[in-house]
Structure 1
């Protein structure tokens, strides 16, 4: 060592510090890689990603080769710094070299490279994998011995080394991933993905058309009324029943009778009854994601929601379910606007039969959705009686004024949102 010039020793020490930084950064970048993105890149045949994925299949070996290299480099650097310190400062150089090398290693061998590696894991890890893999092969015997001893101690302590740490994402975690995707996923697509995840939280009762609003053909009506219904019907499929929905005969595809209507051929009750398909019934409280699969398996697009006694509660369609994912369709937006009427003073005149979830979605409000599903039901639940027109109440941040009622329900109400007030319900 005495014959080696100090300049060479400083160069060698600098190289060792850089190698220390490389090993430290490699460890951080490998552990910071997004496993799902890594898997995607590997499946796309990205060479760096494929090598990194192979190394991460056995993290104990990866960490073993990195720590082996890092410790060897740091030990050699400490020895070299001691020699330099002795030659420059004598016995006091040992302490000076130790202190100086500690600061240098912390800055250039630990903090700086690990920070860069944590911020840009792919840029650091993928090139590093081209070096780490050959190193692992070269020093495999030493790494194997180190891992055997370390893994043996961990097994004694009760750790299972065969367990997979890469557990699948839960739904809540997946929601967080979608929300934090930023510009990688368009906002509209984010809403659609989140809506798919939310399907399990809702049932057919939440989106069905209530029984009182179901449009259908009563075979007991006068034939002229049936003709008028067919001529002005806005729906492609409608139920056909006798007396009421509990006696549904089937579902009529209106287009099947279109030619007869155009050619003014006679359409009789018998013709209607012969043209219907078997009704499809859906048990109440069926989760939306389950019913969507049921519709697909049975090749149905419309179903009557029934309770445990077979009483028809309403009607649900595949289109209703798709709207939960992609949002309101244009044709239905026109229908929905007939239930919500903006007023000049900033309030909204809303029909009592309007769905609370539809109101929230249309106006971006947060009316309570636990319990009643319609505006009329929400008001009656809070008042526990049929209110008189002019009655006012407040639910959360929303002021209600009853404008019209019938003997059994609230027909219309005027609502206004007061976000600045956080008082309770009155």
Structure 2
């Protein structure tokens, strides 16, 4: 080193700092990449993306290569800076060189390149991958040796290198990705994707038509009553039962009943029973995503939900699950949430007690508890632990409510005062 001029040493030091900055920026750029965007570009044939994806397939080797290069360069730069300091300032130059080099490395070889790489990870990574690929081939024996020692040490701690590149997303992580997509995905499409992710957290009871509201005909009724119910039915299918709805005998397509009406001597109870389809039963507690697959596999569109004792709890259709994903159909004949909420001039809301809590939360951006009763009526009854009289005010989940109408042991109408309303989203 004594034969090398101070000017040459300064030039070498600057070159080493540039190389150190390259390694630092490359590491940050590689680790900051969006792996899913990278995979998409690689599948589209992007050369830079293919090179980077190959390097990232073994992150332990990539990090080993970058750190080997960075440490070698920094150690050599430290040695050269010490020589320069001693030449210029004698023994005191060691301290000066250490302090100055530390500041220069932090600013120009660490913070600046890493910040730029974090802002422009694709540009930095695609360009640096060319040199890193070459270095990986040249220094592979050294990288392999260092990684062998490192991986052995990690095995002693119970860690496996094979698990380091696990890029699978949980449903909650995927939800965050969809939420943060912003303008890349239309808001309606985001809502649909989030609704699909929610299917596993929602059961058939959350969407079912309750037992008391099922369109059903007692086959043991007099013939005129059965005919009148069929003629005035607004449903496509009707449940047939004997005396009690727990004794279901079939699911009748109303159009089949109309066809029998048009044929002489064909319209009878016996023929109605023969025309009815076999009932498809669904156990309570079935998640919606599972039931959607079961409807598809069994070629069914409607089913009756039963509890552990076989008693009918409600009815759910394929359309109900699809509406949970894409929103309500305009052709739906069942009451919608808009039909159950009446805005008042003073800003309050009149809400029917039968309104579904999940629908209220989703539509009005509320946070009423959903781990218990499924209707507003049930939630209030659970809160009061009694059947109240009308004109009683309560505070529930931070909202001031007034019970307006009670009949048949049910809360029929509730008024939510405007001072507790939140803005809808």
TM bucket (normalised to shorter chain) is 0.7 to 0.9
Q: Paired residue for 1:236?
A: 236
Describe the SS at the equivalent of 1:166: coil
The answer to whether the 8 Å contact 1:283/1:308 transfers is yes
Tell me what 1:119 maps to. Answer: 119
Residues 1:176 and 2:152 aligned together = no
**Is the 1:26–1:128 contact (alpha carbons within 8 Å) kept by the matching residues of 2?**
yes
Q: Could you tell me which residue of structure 1 aligns to residue 128 of structure 2?
A: 128
Deviation at 1:374, TM superposition (A): 1.8
C-alpha contact 2:59 2:164 (8 A) present in aligned 1:
no
Partners of 1:41 and 1:205 lie apart in 2 by 43
Query: 2:342 maps to which residue?
Result: 341
Offset, 1:262: 8.0
Mean alpha-carbon deviation: is it higher for 181-190 or for 133-142?
181-190
How many angstroms apart in 1 are the aligned matches of 2:411 and 2:135?
77
Deviation of 1:355 after TM superposition, in Å, equals: 2.0
TM-score normalized with structure 1 length: 0.87
- The equivalences for 1:258-273 within 5 A come to 267-273=267-273
**Superposition map of 1:3-152 within 5 A:** 9-82=9-82, 84-85=84-85, 93-152=93-152
User: In the alignment, which residue of structure 2 is the partner of 1:215?
Assistant: 215
**By how many angstroms is 1:359 displaced?**
2.8
1:250 is paired with a residue whose SS is strand
- Confirm or deny: 8 A CA contact 1:386 1:407 kept in the other structure: no
Corresponding position of 1:353: 354
Distance 1:284 1:71 in 2: 62
Alignment of 1:388 with 2:369, yes or no, is no
Deviates more, 1:277-286 or 1:51-60: 51-60
Displacement of 1:325 in angstroms is 1.7
Partner of 2:379: 378
Structure-2 residue corresponding to 1:329:
329
TM-superposed deviation, 1:53: 1.8
SS at match of 1:330: coil
Give the Å deviation of 1:260: 6.2
1:400 to 2:401 alignment: yes
270 and 362 in structure 1: CA distance in 2 versus 1, 3 angstrom threshold: farther
CA contact (8 A) 1:178 1:194 kept: yes
Q: Is 2:311 the partner of 1:311? A: yes
The CA deviation at 1:317 is 0.9
Contact 1:218/1:242, CA 8 A, preserved across alignment = yes
Task: Measure how far apart 1:372 and its partner are.
Answer: 1.6
Which whole-Å CA distance do the structure 2 matches of 1:217 and 1:157 have between them?
A: 68
Provide the TM-score with structure 2 as the length reference. 0.87
Q: Provide the rounded CA distance (Å) in 2 between the counterparts of 1:223 and 1:144.
A: 86
Q: SS state of the match for residue 338, structure 1? A: helix
Return closer, same or farther for 1:386/1:123 CA change in 2, 3 Å cut-off. Answer: same
Alpha-carbon contact 1:356-1:373 (below 8 Å) kept: yes
Work out whether residues 6 and 84 of structure 1, in 8 Å CA contact, stay in contact via their aligned partners in 2.
Answer: yes
Q: In the comparison of the two structures, how many residue pairs are matched?
A: 421
Name the SS for the 1:402 alignment partner. Answer: strand
- The 3-state SS of whatever aligns with 1:418 is helix
What is the match of residue 281 of structure 2? 281
Mean Cα displacement is larger for which, 265-274 or 350-359?
265-274
Deviations 1:147-199 (A, max 9, x none): 33443444455544444442532222222222222222222222222222222
CA distance in 2, matches of 1:150, 1:350: 64
The answer to whether the Cα contact below 8 Å between 2:211 and 2:315 also exists between their aligned partners in 1 is: yes
Is the contact between residue 305 and residue 312 of structure 2 (CA under 8 Å) also seen in structure 1? Answer: yes
Q: Which moved more, 1:91-100 or 1:322-331?
A: 91-100
Name the structure 2 match of 1:368: 369
Q: Secondary structure at the residue paired with 2:308?
A: coil
Unaligned runs of 5+ in 1: 422-426
SS of 2:304's partner is strand
Q: What is the alpha-carbon distance in structure 2 between the residues aligned to residue 70 and residue 272 of structure 1?
A: 83
For 1:196 and 1:124, the matched residues in 2 are separated by 37
Structure 2: stretches of 5+ with no match in the other structure:
none
CA distance in 1, matches of 2:332, 2:215: 15
Alpha-carbon distance in 2 for matches of 1:105, 1:373: 62
Aligned residue for 2:250?
Answer: 250
Question: Alpha-carbon deviation of 1:22?
Answer: 0.3
Quote the offset at 1:23 in angstroms: 0.8
Instruction: Sort the Cα spacing of 1:261 and 1:49 in 2 relative to 1 into closer, same or farther, 3 A.
Output: farther
State the distance in 1 between where 2:62 and 2:70 align: 12
Q: Secondary structure at the match of 1:67?
A: helix
SS in structure 1 at match of 2:420: coil
Aligned-pair RMSD on alpha carbons? 3.0
Q: Distance in 2 between matches of 1:262 and 1:14?
A: 97
